Structure 1
Amino acid sequence: MSGRPAADTWPAMPKVELHCHLEGSVRPATFLDLARSRVQLPTEDPAHVYDYTDMASFMVVFERLCASVATAEDVARITQEALEDAAASGVVYREMFCNPTLHPLPYQDFLAGATEGITRARDATGIVARLIPAIFRGQAPEVATELARAVAAGPRDVVVGLGMDGDELLGPPEEFADAYAVARDGGLACTAHAGERFSPHEVQVCLDLLGCTRIDHGYGIVEDPELTARARDAGTLFTYAWLSTTYNYRGPLHRHPFLRMRDAGLRMSLGSDDPAMGGTSLAGDYRSVARALGFTAEDFIRQNLDALESSWLDGPDREAVRSRLWPGTTTPEGA
């Protein structure tokens, strides 16, 4: 296929995805299989194993899932399956968040399993992937700092940065300044989930105090024109997610934060967030955003180029990914 993609060919568009959680990508049947004899579940029906009603109940299910993934081979399995599913949505490169501190195995074993899964998926589909271990806000700052130390001291073959996720109503970003200082001193790139519940202060703290060069979600920034202008001028990338706003945003579509961010000239990149838990896919989210908000193929092509330019992939793999983007859409680095 060549030329520009038609609106009904979202799965075929080559994509760069920078906002997806490994644990949120575990297939329901795999979750049930791994949980047997390890974690008590309220149901064995794959259609309902991910039932939740709000952010709090979502996090209960998320932590239950993490407790079910207990060996390096478990991690390899979920990583391979998640990336194979991503490839089916047209993803050619993914940077994937993971939460090692929520699993009952050492960081080095978790990383070994994830690395094996990344290798298997690439052999099977050609997808390229890297990991961003993430601080979990529901845990103590000391746990975050210890994770940052382990990541900074550990292998970097597939690890490219440090992130932070979890419910914004729990640990404020200021509590994790020490962990981010460790990460920066160790040469790790930094990002953080912030502004998902529409707080511009969250975004500002992550930029100024934590030293983040990307922001995940970031919707609250549109409530602060000065901060918005600053982020636009700096070229800060925001990795937005449709799933998140389906249960956090209740306003009119014409005031949707995605539209306001795009119209403000912010650089953006759509991610699937937790596709298995939400019953979605990245290609499906492209379709949903296009239908609901009028984003075009040209919007998404530009966003994929911006995502690659803002990614933390380097070396020959970066150019290999660039060559797989839609024919005729690649631009020189930094353009």
Structure 2
Amino acid sequence: MSRTVNAEQAIAQARRVFAIENQAIVDLQQRIGEDFVAAVEMILNGSGHVVVIGMGKSGHIADKVSATLASTGTPAFFVHPGEASHGDLGMITSNDIVLAMSNSGETEEVLAILPVLKRMGIALISMTGKPNSTLAKNSDIHIDVSVNEEACPLGLAPTASTTATLVMGDALAITLLESRGFTKEDFARSHPAGSLGKRLLLGISDVMRSGDDIPKVYAHTKFSEALLVMTEKALGMVAVVDKDNRVAGVFTDGDLRRSLPTIEHFKDHVVGEFMTRNPVTIRADKMAVEAAQLMETHKIHSLLVVDKDARLTGALNIHDLLRAGVV
């Protein structure tokens, strides 16, 4: 039997959740202070990894925070505290810093590994909702992420408390990012398969056509022959070079449309009569995203690639950049 939902009640309940969790973040923002700064400094000056641990819902948050730290310049990984007692503690070294998350501060699986961490001399930062808990008292630095109430009407399911812990973890990661001077280029290096990584890491040489795939002719090449080359290479243009392979001009689809009304007999003309002189070019050692910017600025769809002596080394068009995920 299907159930119906009272729309007004459902929306009111959702808004109640938003209000409670929003208030938890506002309260957390007001409390942030010296302990947070100390945690940032400890991690910033550390020589190992940040090992983030948590159990249950806190474990899911810990896993996400470890991933955020790792992708923003702070080497980090997640260790399940239950598995830690069965061998995974071997992943943690004395140079590492443990970031433990537990709303109660009394999670058995987390407390079970504290003696080992202490014996190894590993620094411990904790985030709990209970400043007087066992975990908080045994930490080098404790960050209070307590909330006044959970959004769960039963007060049982972690809701506002996990949101508060997640936000604090994000705040820690982003503060560390800014403290390290982490840049978009650094982010791209850790996300080479992502769109930003492709935009920032791919070079012109990675996407350009080269060798026999470059459409090129000489200025004295017959107009009809130049059209055949342009059609065969399918780049929407043909480079015009001199005897030393230096770029003298370019003949594009646009040049073709503009020249057709003035041509009566193709065989009587050479491509040099209609080419665009001093075309926009780019060096092969530039980034592919720079090619996209040049095309946008000059309202063109293809580019010739040259070396420092203006010799033709490659060619590309907007479709090459699209296929590479640069635009």
Q: Report the TM-score range of the alignment, normalised by the length of the smaller protein.
A: under 0.3
Structure exhibiting the larger radius of gyration computed from Cα positions: 2
**Relative CO higher for 1 or 2, CA cutoff 8 Å, sep ≥ 6?**
1
